A and B are shown apart, each in its own frame.
Chain A
Amino acid sequence: MAKANETIHQSVRLRIMAALCAGEPGDGGLDFTQLKSMTGATDGNLGSHLDTLARAGYISVEKSFVNRKPNTRVTATRTGRRAFADHVAFLRGVIEGNSDAE
């Protein structure tokens, strides 16, 4: 049975993972600015949540320069996609009343 994932369940991190998993693997992910607009988080807040997700191995963060401007590109790892899918299954289970979280 699916279990809750505390790392992902936090609302900003949930939005970050939802945004990154909305695309398919190999689509290049999203950059910091896009993630900021998708999640509604501030720079500092988003940065700190990205650190948490990266430490958990759920996302990979690549920093580079695009047209001489710094660019932070974030993608969901395979582990992250699986963890997110499991968490979504857990949430559905809670609604259907067959999860072990309640």
Chain B
Amino acid sequence: MSDSATPDVTADDAARALADIDLVTARVRQSRIYLLTSSALILWGPLIALGYAVTQFWPSKAMLIWPVCHLTGLALTTRLALRTPGERSRRNTLTVVSGLLILIAFGLVWSVVLGRMGPREMSAFWPMLFMLAYTVAGLWLGRVFVALGLGISALALAGYFWAGTWFDLYMAVINGGGLLLCGLWMRRA
């Protein structure tokens, strides 16, 4: 070890080194967030697409498929959180799962109890609720989350007005496919 050797370090050198450290630290943290989020998006994308596809072709099964999709997604996300290496990271991921539960509870209160929405409104409301969370989280986590949140929300709104009777199939592609594609992109980023 060469701890005892003391290189000449000026204040400028030190400032540059600290800036370098900050940059690398931020990059590593972002890459870990992307990796974890990408796994969650890749897992939720197909579940959401399945939910919308069933709603489109077998509307009477919608009340059955959505709880199944959400519970499966929550169970798999919890498993993912518990397998995250590192105590602090695991705790943070479990906090995200708690956030998901709060969003689902909020969504149920408004879509079923207070809002009394129709099937089409429900199909637009749920993705926009989750995308709102992505957009807000993106203010801290990075622009890609904001882009994902706003992009899917805008497309959901457009579909609500213009996709006609194929709205749920459109949402399967836009929402399920959007989450999956974004997850795959984050994995490579």
Contacts and interface: CB of A to CB of B under 8 A. Distances in A.
A101 B8 contact: yes
A76 B99 CA distance: 32
Nearest to A56: B1
B85 A26 contact: yes
A100 B7 CA distance: 11
Nearest to A88: B21
Interface string A15-45: 1001101111111101000100011000000
B17 A28 contact: no
Chain B: number of interface residues, binned into ranges? 20 to 34
A11 B11 CA distance: 15
Contacts, number: 99
A97 B12 CA distance: 12
Contact of B3 (A7, A34, A102): A7
A83 B3 contact: yes
Interface stretch (B22-30, B104-112, B164-172, B175-183): B22-30
Nearest to A21: B25
Interface of B: 1-11, 13-15, 17-18, 20-21, 24-25, 27-29, 31-32, 85-89
Interface of A: 3-7, 9, 11, 14-15, 18-19, 21-28, 30, 34, 38-39, 56-57, 83, 88, 90-92, 94-95, 97, 99-102
18 contacts: A5-B3, A6-B3, A9-B9, A14-B17, A18-B20, A18-B21, A19-B28, A23-B89, A26-B86, A26-B87, A30-B28, A88-B18, A91-B9, A92-B18, A94-B9, A95-B15, A101-B6, A102-B11
